[in-house]
Amino acid sequence: MGQVGHMKVRQLEAFQATVLTGSVTAAANRLNVSQPAVSQLLGQLERACGFKLYDRRGGKIVLTREAEALYAEVSRMFVNVDRISRVAAAIRENNWGALRVASFPAISRCLMPKIILEFLRDHCAARFHVQSMRSRAVIDAVATQHVDIGVSSIAGDRPEVESTFVHAMRAICLLPSRHRLAEHLSIHARDLEGEPFISLGLQDGSKNIVDRAFDQLTVRRKVLIECGQSETVYSFVAAGAGVAVVDPLCVYNQNGFCDPRVRVLPFLPEVEFGVWVIKQRSSKPYALLDEFEKRLRSMASAQLIDLN
């Protein structure tokens, strides 16, 4: 049994049980030991403290003022011990801990709230710190251990991280609802020759994927505006500024499938945007993180399939 100063925890347990039950005999029953054993523990505690713990009055135990002060501290100690015990049980059951998660903005808005809330229903003592950042920053944050796990639109290219492919989203074309092509069933890259085009900015990894589709067919677009995020691209299309090619998350986040201002059509040739889970390559085993990664990959894949 451990010690607190010159006191043994078992002595403090006997003291607490005696105060709670009101008698040495009842304390012995509570602790499942003999009455002389409790008396011996109380005597040892008195000697360790250097003051008397209680008086007997009419068959009842009455604490001294010194013992009352001691009991307040003993009670706090056992409250903390109980809390530590509960925390240990929660950790053992993968139900305790803090997770730092980063994802690119479209995922942060569209999928992450559902995934984390679902996870918290089964792991109610878990806590999350969630950040939204560009995919390049997600990879860097995982590599430098500023976050535990991330979701990116590009695979990690740093040696400190490992990437797991989750799903590929097919690109869609956005047109103002009164555009000359709005009645088509699908839009081919050649249909957009010379069209005013709203593009993603250089800082978005998806821009290169879209540009490559047009370059391979030598289709020239009239790029009017470049935007840092796909949601901003959507807003310009809705305002009638031009057309765009984006991922379906953009439309979902803007409720664009029901927006009378915007026509959403399949884009050809087929262009895909990948979604990747990024983890530290040499991270210490952490059961809660492993459980969250499984849930993240499963739920993200299912929801992205629905979007396609």
CATH number at residue 198: 3.40.190.10
CATH number at residue 71: 1.10.10.10
Out of 31, 58, 92, pick the residue that ends a domain.
92
Identity at 259, one-letter amino acid code: D
Considering the entire predicted model, what is its pTM?
0.65
Instruction: Give me the domain span that covers residue 249.
Output: 172-270
Out of 67, 92, 117, pick the residue that ends a domain.
92
Q: 278 and 259 in one domain?
A: no
Q: 257 and 183 in one domain?
A: yes
Quote the CA–CA distance of 140 and 122 in Å, as a whole number: 30
Q: 140 and 88 in one domain?
A: no
Q: 218 and 86 in one domain?
A: no
- What's the number of CA atoms in the CB half-sphere (13 Å) around residue 130? 17
Q: 184 and 237 in one domain?
A: yes
When mean pLDDT is compared over 47-61, 155-169, 281-295, the highest value belongs to 155-169
Q: 219 and 70 in one domain?
A: no
Least confident among 44-53, 101-110, 232-241, 250-259: 250-259
Q: What are the structure tokens assigned to 131, written together? A: 């950040």
Query: How many CB atoms neighbour CB 191 within 10 A?
Result: 18
Q: pLDDT per residue over 25-48, tens digit each?
A: 888 888 888 888 888 888 888 888
SS3 category, 283: coil
- Cβ atoms of 182 and 196 within 8 Å: the answer is no
Q: 129 and 8 in one domain?
A: no
Q: 295 and 164 in one domain?
A: yes
Q: 129 and 113 in one domain?
A: yes
Least confident among 2-16, 80-94, 250-264, 280-294: 80-94
Q: Give 259's pLDDT tier (boundaries 50, 70, 90).
A: confident
Out of 92, 125, 143, pick the residue that ends a domain.
92
Q: What is the pLDDT of residue 130?
A: 94
Q: 122 and 46 in one domain?
A: no
Q: What is the pLDDT of residue 63?
A: 83
DSSP lists the bridge partners of residue 293 as none
Q: 258 and 178 in one domain?
A: yes
Q: 232 and 203 in one domain?
A: yes
- Domains in the chain, number: 3
Quote the CA–CA distance of 229 and 130 in Å, as a whole number: 19
